[in-house]
Amino acid sequence: MEVIKVTPRGYCYGVVDAMEIARKAARDPSLPRPIYIIGLIVHNRFAVEELQRLGVTTLDGPNRAEILNQASEGTVIFTAHGVSPRVKERARARGLHILDATCPDVTKTHDLVLDFAGRGYQILYIGKKGHPEPEGVMGEAPNAVYLVENEADLDALPERILTAEKLMVTTQTTLSQWDTLRLVEAIRRRFPYAEVYNEICKATQDRQEAVARMARGCELTIVVGDPRSNNTNRLVQVAEELAGSPAVRIESLADLPPGILDGKQRVAITAGASTPSQITREVVRFVQEYGVTTRVLPQFDGEELASQTTRPTQTTANETIPAMRDDG
Ligand code: SF4
């Protein structure tokens, strides 16, 4: 069997940094105790459990402002997904020490929304309902931002969007590039004057493009990641729809359906941006035992690239979908 280790895969720089902030906090005796994380530090059970073992408690629930009521003292860590200003204010008002692990790519979207709302724009934000990242971004300007997830949502837009003279469109960082492009085109047909800013992050784009390219011709693509991880689920979608490869998402090796590798000649493996490398490595090792040939493209192992902390020197996320670029 030929095993294709998709590169890059796994941890992105935002997740690496968030985990490091939480680990350092656990080791720092000068920080007020207890230490809480408000929401899941990243969408991965194993990462959450690692921090729990270090004494950092995760408080999770649908409303992060309400979750804060459970923390009466100590330190709170905001996750890589970012939080709304309301959550920050409430933490300050409760006298909690704050560590902010928001990914800079998410912060960039917060700033963008704040800037355009301040200049009188209404904003269509393409994102996933119920996900913490849209909740945080929309909290920057609740009266200006409206969340849409698919084309059907465009049939139920509020009056303030329909009548807006100035309209901006932006996105969650972890969406499918191709779905987003389709939705943006639908928005442009209705609102040709809308200014579009694609905020899908570079890490997400790189992982999706790698799967679209490298899983082609594979009889199976295994995507390792948590069911709550949006970027993981998008990798499954990209493998199936763009690479034409049947795909299965597993949280860890224990989830691999029995017999699924039987008779396969070519299998691709990738992992979501919040999946610890160790979990993916176990899956790779297991699959390799079925065959003798392992192919790594390009000429380095994706684990090394995926675990590096270096950020891109310049944000180039807007460059991948030129049709969406509109600097107005
Ligand atoms: S997926 Fe992108 S936005 Fe999310 S933490 Fe990673 S780099 Fe940041």
Cross-strand partners of 170: 125, 197
**In angstroms, how far is CA 114 from the centroid of its own chain?**
21
Distance from the CA of 59 to the center of ligand 1, in angstroms?
21
**What 8-state DSSP symbol labels residue 275?**
S
Predicted pLDDT of residue 290: 76
Using CA positions, which residue lies closest to atom 2 of ligand 1? 201
Q: How many CB atoms lie within 10 A of CB 142?
A: 11
Distance from the CA of 201 to the center of ligand 1, in angstroms?
6
What does the domain layout of the chain look like in residue ranges?
A: 2-11+203-289, 13-103, 105-200
Catalytic residues: 133
| Topology of the domain covering 2-11+203-289 | Cobalt-precorrin-4 Transmethylase; domain 1 (3.40.1010)
Residues of the chain with pLDDT under 50: 294, 297-328
Q: Are strands 266-271 and 220-224 parallel, antiparallel or unpaired?
A: parallel
Predicted pLDDT of residue 302: 43
Q: Which of 9, 11, 13, 320 to mutate to test the pocket of ligand 1 (most atoms within 8 A of CB)?
A: 13
The phi and psi torsions of 318 (rounded to 5 degrees) equal -75, -10
15: CB partners within 8 A, 6+ apart: 42, 47, 80, 103, 273, 274
Q: How many CB atoms lie within 10 A of CB 12?
A: 31
Q: Which of 100, 106, 230 to mutate to test the pocket of ligand 1 (most atoms within 8 A of CB)?
A: 106
Enter the CATH code of domain 105-200: 3.40.1010.20
Q: Which atom of ligand 1 sits closest to the CA of residue 12?
A: 6
Predicted pLDDT of residue 152: 98
Task: Pinpoint the alpha helices (H) of 70-103.
Answer: 85-93
| Rounded (10°) angle between helices 230-241 and 177-190 | 90
| pLDDT tens for each residue of 134-147 | 999 999 999 999 99
Give residue ranges with CB within 6 A of ligand 1. Answer: 12-15, 80, 103, 105-106, 173-174, 201, 203-204, 231, 273
Predicted pLDDT of residue 291: 56
Exposure b/e, 274-297, CB count within 10 A at least 16 = b: bbbbebbbebbeebbeeeeeeeee
What SS3 class is residue 240?
A: helix
Q: Please, are residues 177 and 212 in contact by the beta-carbon 8 Å criterion?
A: no
7 token code pair: 């590169």
Q: Please, are residues 168 and 195 in contact by the beta-carbon 8 Å criterion?
A: yes
Exposure b/e, 72-81, CB count within 10 A at least 16 = b: eebbbbbbbb
Predicted pLDDT of residue 296: 52
Pick the CATH number of 13-103 from 3.90.180.10, 3.40.50.720, 1.20.1250.20, 3.40.50.11270: 3.40.50.11270
Is there a shared CATH topology between the 2-11+203-289 domain and the 13-103 domain?
Answer: no
Predicted pLDDT of residue 62: 86
Q: How many CB atoms lie within 10 A of CB 106?
A: 24
| pLDDT tens for each residue of 135-184 | 999 999 999 999 999 999 999 999 999 999 999 999 999 999 999 999 99
